[in-house]
Structure 1
């Protein structure tokens, strides 16, 4: 199916995070992810380099004084409407980075230097 993908048609019409999720094997079990990621590496590189894909930043962690808010589990929206990426999507990115460390280099090439700090605490 990915052979038929035309990234230039998909990305502008839809959600870049959703496309990255699909290309990086997000819907698949971890044991299949390396093969799928490897097969889609060129499309992922194009998404990052040419389409300048970066995820929304992670939600700020509550301050200690806001600890009473921790007990309130607010469901995360997808796609996010508050300008912050939801944790499930950031986990997809972290998993992809663990499998293909070159993704960090690609994001840094386009100026997204916060990639490591954005996914480090997951």
Structure 2
């Protein structure tokens, strides 16, 4: 899967707004912030929209999937400091750029970060 395909899935499944601002990458999105959510019933969202978007997001080529985010094991977090695209196992699969520094995530450390990949997997689309 190339970086354009990854970004398309992030945009279409989580309405991720990804940009380079003030010298760093940033972005945030969730399944329930997709524009089509404004015009669907709760039943359609719960039984069709959410499962479809969730499956697409989880199918991305994540660098790692943390088995239990509340008790991450050795080797489940990045080995290098930097900015990563992360996805939570809660909050409608929130996707955002998260900084990893000195063995910890800047947001949701050891609570909900289940999927992650380096920003470099998609940043080529903006250079």
Same fold per TM (> 0.5)? no
| TM-score normalised by the chain length of structure 2 | 0.30
More helix by share: 1
Larger radius of gyration: 1
More strand by share: 2
